[in-house]
Structure 1
């Protein structure tokens, strides 16, 4: 089965044009699956039955994986077995009739306006790293970029004279996102002073650099926002997507229409964006409970 897995991963790399993060997720899910099949004594695709797949999904549940993670794993399995069927190495697809685990969708964590202000002000120094962090936070809150989109930004993606940037989202889809004055000003300051101080002449095209002069990674940003949140006295569990979630929620709270927010976030399906309307309704309910005499 390992050989079939290698063939499949090569196929989706060349034919599907999936993002690197998606490829990594498929690889992890399927490596775990192939290991499970080995434990079951299964060495050929024809030995896999729907019952085998259900046992694997049960194992994932026992291991503590969430319904969302198990549903993602099932998507990986479906693609794998569909590939095996198309290649003629299997006579059927054992995943075709298996339903995805039910997922109770959790509301995204957001910051209040006051907390956003404190976080944006946390990198208060004039040193290159503070200039970089201020620019990153302002850009994220102004645009709602995914963190992978932020760390992948290049100078050619910026149009500061007209106030927008070009983002490259999932499946390399492009979208134009407004920047706003505050983010544009912090970017200009960082590009004029902070970035040249961090640049080690390595020819790195990314805008945001680490101490070594290399492009900042998603993991690097995660550490930065965690540390800056503590400096700002924010005790909430902040993730790299927190400013993206706050961007969308605050836009809707202030009257933005859902389609515009969908476009700026780069969501292919508006149902993904609609989760933020639940956030705003939940916040209104809490305000009503706290402030109404009979709440």
Structure 2
């Protein structure tokens, strides 16, 4: 890759990180999509890309069998990239100006029933030291609706257990307070007593969720915990840690929790993102966590 293209990509990533406050994972995805285009145009300058180049590139990734959702994400990312080049006077016209982003059907998220969650919790092996940690992971994902990135970055100082809240740093570096119920608070106490106090060391610092070496538990490890417990519980659905977040939102909406309260707890910037869960029940009641959530 020539120096000019490297410079443009670096400026774009800086813009995404600082101006848009996007997470490192999102920035990595944007960068990977630009590299897909670079591989296709075989070293051509990014500022010289034409609408015809883009059309051929989209046809190419379609022929590779990329699904419409991934294609839409790539087009959206490239549009953002070239809009930035226009504002910085590198180019005069966006080569994606006439390119339409595929319209995607609204896909309802996969959710787990409360029985399936309980079956997963029952599958935890408490003869292992990791048992209390794994239960804490599931209860924070399902009981508070956290994203994986939010969970792994929680610190002890983020816990306000006496007040029944945890402080979460979400997308765009935005902080929010999320209610935490009595059952989860009790589980966090057990986690400290039987796991964290045993594995923590000088490397642990203030990190809440640790692996058995006393370091921050990775995103990959949390995926594995959820997948393994689902398999042990014979849950046949295709799930991930995010499925527990969807399930958290769904159980509250089903019970009639206020939509804006759920939006705030999930850290959704727009309430339209939260509205996807209202396919189940649209009743509005005052109590949100303690009254309605079975694992709170």
Question: TM-score, normalized by length of structure 2?
Answer: 0.87
User: In 2, are the aligned partners of 1:82 and 1:93 still within 8 Å (CA)?
Assistant: yes
Could you say which residue in structure 1 is the equivalent of 2:9? 5
Could you say which residue in structure 1 is the equivalent of 2:118? 117
* Secondary structure of 1:128's aligned partner: coil
Could you say which residue in structure 2 is the equivalent of 1:178? 179
Displacement of 1:203 in angstroms is 3.6
* Secondary structure of 2:130's aligned partner: helix
Could you say which residue in structure 2 is the equivalent of 1:214? 215
User: In 2, are the aligned partners of 1:121 and 1:134 still within 8 Å (CA)?
Assistant: no
Displacement of 1:224 in angstroms is 0.7
Equivalent positions of 1:183-202 (< 5 A) are 183-202=184-203
Displacement of 1:280 in angstroms is 5.5
Could you say which residue in structure 2 is the equivalent of 1:86? 87
Displacement of 1:192 in angstroms is 2.4
User: In 2, are the aligned partners of 1:29 and 1:73 still within 8 Å (CA)?
Assistant: yes
Could you say which residue in structure 1 is the equivalent of 2:40? 36
* Secondary structure of 1:177's aligned partner: strand
Equivalent positions of 1:131-210 (< 5 A) are 131-210=132-211
Could you say which residue in structure 1 is the equivalent of 2:30? 26
Q: Which moved more, 1:14-23 or 1:72-81?
A: 14-23
CA 1:3–1:124: 2 relative to 1, 3 Å: same
User: In 1, are the aligned partners of 2:204 and 2:216 still within 8 Å (CA)?
Assistant: no
* Secondary structure of 2:193's aligned partner: helix
Could you say which residue in structure 1 is the equivalent of 2:69? 68
Could you say which residue in structure 2 is the equivalent of 1:284? none
Q: Deviations over 1:116-163 (max 9, x none)?
A: 111223225154310101111111111111111111111111111111
Q: Deviations over 1:238-274 (max 9, x none)?
A: 2111111111111111111222111111111111111
Where in structure 2 are there 5+ consecutive unaligned residues? 283-296
Give structure 1 regions of 4+ aligned residues with deviation exceeding 6 angstroms. Answer: none
Q: Distance in 2 between matches of 1:10 and 1:255?
A: 42
Displacement of 1:20 in angstroms is 0.9
Q: Distance in 1 between matches of 2:71 and 2:210?
A: 35
* Secondary structure of 1:114's aligned partner: helix
Aligned length: 278
User: In 1, are the aligned partners of 2:111 and 2:244 still within 8 Å (CA)?
Assistant: yes
Q: Distance in 2 between matches of 1:61 and 1:198?
A: 48
Displacement of 1:60 in angstroms is 2.1
Q: CA RMSD in A?
A: 1.9
Q: Does 1:95 align with 2:99?
A: no
User: In 1, are the aligned partners of 2:82 and 2:95 still within 8 Å (CA)?
Assistant: yes
Displacement of 1:165 in angstroms is 0.4
* Secondary structure of 1:132's aligned partner: helix
Question: TM-score, normalized by length of structure 1?
Answer: 0.88
Q: Distance in 1 between matches of 2:161 and 2:268?
A: 24
Could you say which residue in structure 1 is the equivalent of 2:245? 244
Displacement of 1:225 in angstroms is 0.7
* Secondary structure of 2:90's aligned partner: coil
